[in-house]
Homo-oligomer: A and B are copies of this chain.
Amino acid sequence: MSKQERHNLIRQLVAGESIASQDELRRRLARRGCGVTQATLSRDVHELRLYKGPNGYAAPNGNGHMEEEEEQPTVGEVLSSFGLAVRQAQNQLVLRTTGGAAQPVALAIDHEQWSDIVGTLAGDDTVLIICPDHRRASSMREKLERMIG
């Protein structure tokens, strides 16, 4: 396996799982058919500009292991607390929240992985919700409105 392939594999491993030491990384790589020593991995870690923190190794720009959330609040919970209103434009929904609450609301929605939602984008007090089409946006709007109360 070439160095480049190994680097790609390291990035994947680091993004997907918690890796607490270079030795652990070495063992994970060995399981994937890539046998190198800790010295090489030390150089790789430096060259890939990985960070090591309380949760192990992470890529630059926070692509690492966020604090494990003991419990993700549900959409219903966050909307009853922070949701203000939903408006629809074709396949898009604009969800207003209280100030600063858009991120947790978007996270909660993402967590549900509803098939009627293609993706969400959060500002400060606004979440943009993209649906596949107008019809499903309508039904999602009704659903969210019920949750807001």
Contact = CB atoms under 8 A, between A and B. Distances in A.
B122 A61 contact: no
Q: Is chain A's binding surface mostly helix, strand, loop or mixed?
A: mixed
Contact of A100 (B53, B62, B91, B121): B62
Interface string A34-78: 000000000000100111111000111111101100000000000
Interface residues of A, number: 53
| Copies of the chain in the assembly | 2
A119 B96 contact: yes
Given A52-B52, A98-B59, A123 B122 contact: yes
Contact of A81 (B59, B67, B81, B89): B59
A46 B60 CA distance: 19
Interface in A88-144: 88-92, 94-96, 98-101, 103-104, 106, 110, 118-126, 128, 130-133
Given A50-B53, A61-B100, A104-B61, A90 B91 contact: yes
Given A49-B53, A67-B49, A118-B92, A80 B8 contact: yes
B123 A121 contact: yes
Contact of A98 (B15, B96, B103): B15
A61 B101 contact: yes
Nearest 3 interchain pairs by C-beta: A94-B119, A62-B100, A51-B53
